A and B are shown apart, each in its own frame.
Chain A
Amino acid sequence: MKEKTLQNSTSKIGSQTSQSNIQAEDSMVLTTKLDKFVAWGRKNSLWPLPYGTACCGIEMMSVMGPKYDLARFGAEVVRFSPRQADLLLVAGTIVEKMAPIIKRIYEQMLEPKYVIAMGACASSGGFYRSYHVVQGVDNIIPVDVFVPGCPPTPEAVLDGVMLLQKMIGENQPRPWKHKWESLQKH
């Protein structure tokens, strides 16, 4: 339902802009669809919440640091408050004790929100097949991009961010998120 109304409204705006294009001759106007425009804005201004728990957190500091510089991808505004962030960057092992906390933090984030699982531990538990380690953070929250490595190189993390940007830019459907949401309701 929601998607339909959104599409209707974008086509209206599209026709209006093309009219104004004829009237104002000296100024230039680009026409686009609203959801494309919004997606373009979203993908280039991700505000990450760096949830660094372990070794990957140290490598994430390098990603933010001067050499690899995440700022080049429009994601340098690091927010530690979930209310201000839209990208949860889970960097490091999530143990059972941490599980309720990361779930709470994810729930506190406002839509639209995305999750990157950085490293083997966050993706699958890594080589910690042990009694206190959650076997992948996707057991708790929906994950959009998994970045392998132990820890992944900064280049790999940047690649993961770019992949997410591509997903956002193309408004790719995210069934894993809908599945998680419907599971929460039951």
Chain B
Amino acid sequence: MISKPILKNLLSECFENTDSDSEKIVIAEELGQWIIYISANQVVDFFTYIKKQERFDFLMNISGVDYSKKADTKITQKFGVVYELFSSLDMSRLRIKVGLSESEKIPSITNIFKSANWFEREIYDMFGIVFTDHPYLHRLLTHHQFKGHPLRKDYPADYNQACTESLPIHFADDKKDLDPNSSMVPLNIGPSHPATHGTLRVMCELDGEKVNRANVEIGYLHRCFEKMAETHPYNQVIPYTDRLNYCSAPINNVAYCKTVEKLLGVTVPLKAQAMRIILMELSRIIDHIVCVAANAVDLGALTGFFHLFTYREKVYSLFEKLCGARLTVSLTRIGGMAQEAPDNWLKEVLEFCKDMSKGVDEIDQLLTGNKIWINRTRNVGNISSKEAIEWGYTGPLLRATGMNLDLRKDTPYYGYETLDFNIPVGSTGDLYDRYLVRLAEMRESLKIITQLCKSMPSGDYTIRDKSIVLPEKKDVYGNIESLMNHFMLVIKGIKNKPLEIYDSVEAANGELGFYLISDGSACPYRLKVRPPCFAIYQSFPERIKGVQVADVIAILGSMNVIAGELDR
């Protein structure tokens, strides 16, 4: 964390040659995170300076907030835009808040940070905040016939608006979408196409086999996670988080619970921490299995899919033994885990680790030296570290470019610092490197799980704070105190202090962040998710320019875009 004098210095330098008085800018600290309040006309100056200074290289997240129910005492206007900066040099974070009145516009910073593009579009869609000079300010998640802005507090959560038709092929850069006289061929892929792994729509204009320009449309799985979170108590949000990245659901559970716990100021017991790591690493493995196997299927290698899915099935059986559910497990609770692991469960996990390391070796033999695989992936989709940071890449895709950034090592949580594991990195950032990084990460995850299974801490699996954790079922049915406790906690919910926090974990795909604002009531006031693939996928139209159509599918597969967390 950077110190206040440095921050003051930074601000005075930033606004040196402008009319703004840097002394008047409010700096606040909340839960160990610095917040700077600036006004809309200072935004461009500030971010231009930040960019030039090169200290904060990542623009991680931008969220809109409707303050009409007064969640922030320092912002008097109706709306707010909150920027989240991250420095890969010293891992410090900085939050910038801008208050906006109802019709006030805010300048876009897309020219400064490329990654701002979709985040700003989403805020426009959800709150109706207009970003001036944005290259393509259209609705992103809701359909084009949608009226109103759903995340405003006055929009009812259950008010549906039907969509009767879908948009024809359109592009972001040009008003004239398709010229019938040109020799270019329009091609529409998705949203229901086997190679898009879900509900993505890619629109290309082809010059022969090459993509001349492209555009993507998302929102075909916009399930209103953020609105649902605002209308449900803290504990009831957990099942919704499962369905964000459904390929690795436990990671989302942990990330959300960790955020709420940080806001509450509680630490979970060591046993719960270790269990959470085991679950997260198991999920990382199956997430990578889905990505690598599906990517190989797209390129014609079906064997890997059937072979690797056998191992994925084994992980699901482990989850089933632990809690009864296979895919959407909802295993964590705020304050710890839902229940104790059954006897011998850890032994079975260890056995799985042995099996799986064989499986990884086999897939290694199957693909790593495979001529077709190499030809299809090497030097395809190359990206440099600098460009990747510009777009807000995190996770395996960023590490494949040679950048060594992993939150498990850099800002460790739950005792990752005590475990022995390595962070694999690539060099060129092409598809082959991404595959190698994922493969190596699977091995490292196995290493982590093995260590933890052999040294599982003893103790309780959850904290026993009556105002946070529900009592055991046998007590609820056994004595009146627990029954009352259960009743009160279910009816009134967890009482949080009116604070806000941005917290993140290293998910299988990159940084998964939750920006949570509490107003002291039982439900979150605002919960914004920073999905890793959202930032990655917005670079897709630019990444596939000049690329052959067959490679478009390969690049898409390697990005591991999960529609659930992309559209939320």
Tell me the A residues contacting B by CB distance below 8 Å: 51-55, 57-59, 61-62, 65-67, 80, 92-93, 95-102, 105, 121, 127-135, 150-151, 153
Q: Which residue of B lies closest to A154 (CB)?
A: B326
What are the residues of chain B within 8 A of A132 when measuring CB–CB? 141-143, 146, 150, 160, 222-224
Shortest Cβ distance from residue B128 to the other chain A in the assembled complex, whole angstroms: 15
A92 to B246, CA, bound (A): 11
Q: Mark each residue of chain B from 287 to 326: 1 if its CB lies under 8 Å from any CB of chain A, else 0.
A: 0001000000000000000100110110010000000001
What are the residues of chain A within 8 A of B146 when measuring CB–CB? 96, 132
A93 to B163, CA, bound (A): 15
Asked if A58 and B194 make an inter-chain contact with CB atoms under 8 angstroms apart, the answer reads: no
Partner of B194, one of A59, A80, A100, A127: A80
Asked if A80 and B193 make an inter-chain contact with CB atoms under 8 angstroms apart, the answer reads: yes
Given A101-B192, A130-B228, A131-B227, A66 and B222 touching (CB < 8 A)? no
Count of B residues near A, CB < 8 Å? 49
Known: A95-B223, A151-B326. 18 other contacts (CB 8 A): A53-B563, A57-B198, A59-B327, A65-B310, A66-B306, A66-B309, A66-B313, A93-B223, A95-B219, A95-B221, A96-B161, A97-B222, A98-B221, A99-B163, A105-B192, A131-B150, A133-B224, A134-B160
Tell me whether chain A's interface is mostly helix, strand or loop, or mixed. loop
What are the residues of chain A within 8 A of B313 when measuring CB–CB? 62, 65-67
Asked if B224 and A131 make an inter-chain contact with CB atoms under 8 angstroms apart, the answer reads: yes
Asked if A129 and B158 make an inter-chain contact with CB atoms under 8 angstroms apart, the answer reads: yes
Interface residues of B in 513-542 (CB under 8 A from A): none
A130 to B158, CA, bound (A): 4
A62 to B313, CA, bound (A): 7
Shortest Cβ distance from residue B527 to the other chain A in the assembled complex, whole angstroms: 14
Query: Could you say which of B142, B192, B194 has the most chain A C-beta atoms within 10 Å of its C-beta?
Result: B192
Asked if A99 and B191 make an inter-chain contact with CB atoms under 8 angstroms apart, the answer reads: no
What are the residues of chain B within 8 A of A65 when measuring CB–CB? 306, 309-310, 313
Shortest Cβ distance from residue B514 to the other chain A in the assembled complex, whole angstroms: 19
Residue B97 at the A interface, CB < 8 A? Answer: no
Given A98-B191, A100-B166, A127-B239, A58 and B222 touching (CB < 8 A)? no
What are the residues of chain B within 8 A of A52 when measuring CB–CB? 198
What are the residues of chain B within 8 A of A153 when measuring CB–CB? 326
Residue B89 at the A interface, CB < 8 A? Answer: no
What are the residues of chain A within 8 A of B219 when measuring CB–CB? 95, 97
A51 to B198, CA, bound (A): 9
Asked if A98 and B220 make an inter-chain contact with CB atoms under 8 angstroms apart, the answer reads: yes
Residue B465 at the A interface, CB < 8 A? Answer: no
Asked if B227 and A151 make an inter-chain contact with CB atoms under 8 angstroms apart, the answer reads: no
What are the residues of chain B within 8 A of A96 when measuring CB–CB? 142-143, 146, 160-163
Query: Could you say which of A54, A66, A67, A150 has the most chain B C-beta atoms within 10 Å of its C-beta?
Result: A54
What are the residues of chain A within 8 A of B115 when measuring CB–CB? none
Asked if A54 and B247 make an inter-chain contact with CB atoms under 8 angstroms apart, the answer reads: no
Partner of B564, one of A54, A59, A97: A54
What are the residues of chain B within 8 A of A54 when measuring CB–CB? 198-199, 221, 223, 243, 246, 563-564
What are the residues of chain A within 8 A of B143 when measuring CB–CB? 96-97, 132
Asked if B165 and A100 make an inter-chain contact with CB atoms under 8 angstroms apart, the answer reads: yes
Asked if B157 and A130 make an inter-chain contact with CB atoms under 8 angstroms apart, the answer reads: yes
Asked if A62 and B316 make an inter-chain contact with CB atoms under 8 angstroms apart, the answer reads: yes
Task: Show 19 A/B contacts (Cβ-Cβ < 8 Å), sorted by A.
Answer: A52-B198, A54-B199, A54-B243, A54-B564, A58-B290, A65-B310, A65-B313, A66-B306, A95-B221, A96-B160, A96-B163, A97-B219, A97-B222, A99-B162, A100-B163, A101-B192, A130-B158, A130-B223, A130-B228
Asked if A53 and B309 make an inter-chain contact with CB atoms under 8 angstroms apart, the answer reads: no
Asked if A53 and B327 make an inter-chain contact with CB atoms under 8 angstroms apart, the answer reads: no
Asked if B224 and A128 make an inter-chain contact with CB atoms under 8 angstroms apart, the answer reads: yes
Shortest Cβ distance from residue B356 to the other chain A in the assembled complex, whole angstroms: 16
Shortest Cβ distance from residue A49 to the other chain B in the assembled complex, whole angstroms: 9
Shortest Cβ distance from residue A52 to the other chain B in the assembled complex, whole angstroms: 7
A37 to B150, CA, bound (A): 53
What are the residues of chain A within 8 A of B150 when measuring CB–CB? 131-132
Asked if A131 and B157 make an inter-chain contact with CB atoms under 8 angstroms apart, the answer reads: yes
A54 to B326, CA, bound (A): 15
A127 to B242, CA, bound (A): 13
Q: Which residue of A lies closest to B166 (CB)?
A: A100
Asked if A58 and B166 make an inter-chain contact with CB atoms under 8 angstroms apart, the answer reads: no
A52 to B562, CA, bound (A): 12
What are the residues of chain A within 8 A of B312 when measuring CB–CB? 62
Asked if A128 and B228 make an inter-chain contact with CB atoms under 8 angstroms apart, the answer reads: yes
Interface residues of B in 218-240 (CB under 8 A from A): 219-224, 227-228, 239-240
Asked if A61 and B227 make an inter-chain contact with CB atoms under 8 angstroms apart, the answer reads: no
What are the residues of chain B within 8 A of A121 when measuring CB–CB? 223
Residue B156 at the A interface, CB < 8 A? Answer: yes
Shortest Cβ distance from residue B14 to the other chain A in the assembled complex, whole angstroms: 40
Q: Which residue of B lies closest to A99 (CB)?
A: B163
A55 to B244, CA, bound (A): 9
Asked if A131 and B160 make an inter-chain contact with CB atoms under 8 angstroms apart, the answer reads: yes
Shortest Cβ distance from residue B223 to the other chain A in the assembled complex, whole angstroms: 5
Asked if B191 and A58 make an inter-chain contact with CB atoms under 8 angstroms apart, the answer reads: no
Q: Which residue of A lies closest to B218 (CB)?
A: A97
A104 to B66, CA, bound (A): 37
What are the residues of chain A within 8 A of B242 when measuring CB–CB? 55
